[in-house]
Chain A
Amino acid sequence: MSLKLVFLGRLADAAQAPERAVETVPSIASLLAGLEPDLSAMLGAEKIKIAVNGKIVVDRAVFTLRDGDEVAFLPPVSGG
């Protein structure tokens, strides 16, 4: 089973697609470690917020991912 990754704004360019499916891993750290190094470094930056199933992750170091989760990477908003 898998996780669905969603890349917003310029991150979609970096990931070369707005969405991607990856194999389920238990933590955000292991998720990032499994991606291309450039993309991983970009997504791991502090200013990039992460939402899992539509809720912002407060402490990404202890967050447990589950099969089927939607993980969204949110760069700083440019406003409406």
Chain B
Amino acid sequence: MAADVRLFSAPFEPGLEVDRFAAANPDAGGIAAFIGKVRPSGGVEALELTHYEPLTLPGMEALAREVESRWDVSGVLILHRSGLMEPGEPIVLVAAAARHRRDAIEAVDFAMDHLKSDSWFWKREKRADGWHWIEPREQDFADLERWN
């Protein structure tokens, strides 16, 4: 199947989405999935993700195509939230279906590193003293270097 890439402005159900993805890839030998959530600790009361329609989804679609060109996967799923989220809510779901596990696991790892560092999202956190914009982290760029 083709890559399934979607942007949600309201909560989604990762479990349901993984089940659907598995059903859509019946010939895969394995499926790897990563679900990222708003961290429930650390004093964050809410998280807001802003995106820019003309760039964000096309960028995620280009990432899915790159995953498909680098690994032997039969399907790629990239789902991402935008808008206002509470601690514990899912932000992102990335899954890959492949004949062999290593392709699926590495495809998900690669997609996550790229989503974290070079996808078109801007993030701010609400803490006790108000809203704070989140700057890019050095660790995210270091994670990206792993694939070069």
Contacts and interface: CB of A to CB of B under 8 A. Distances in A.
Interface centre among A8, A12, A77, A79 (most CB of B within 10 A): A79
B119 A80 contact: yes
A51 B91 CA distance: 26
A78 B123 contact: yes
Interface size class of A (residues with CB under 8 A): 10 to 19
Nearest to A72: B52
A6 B52 contact: yes
Contact of A79 (B50, B54, B124, B136): B136
A40 B84 CA distance: 29
Main secondary structure of the interface of B (DSSP, over half): mixed
Interface centre among A12, A75, A80 (most CB of B within 10 A): A80
B91 A80 contact: yes
A76 B120 CA distance: 9
Interface centre among A10, A12, A56, A78 (most CB of B within 10 A): A78
Question: Closest 9 CB pairs between A and B?
Answer: A54-B54, A9-B122, A78-B123, A78-B134, A79-B116, A80-B115, A10-B133, A80-B121, A80-B119
Given A10-B122, A51-B52, 10 more contacts: A9-B133, A10-B124, A54-B58, A56-B55, A74-B55, A74-B120, A77-B120, A78-B121, A79-B117, A80-B121
Interface of A: 6, 8-10, 12-13, 51, 53-54, 56, 70, 72, 74-80
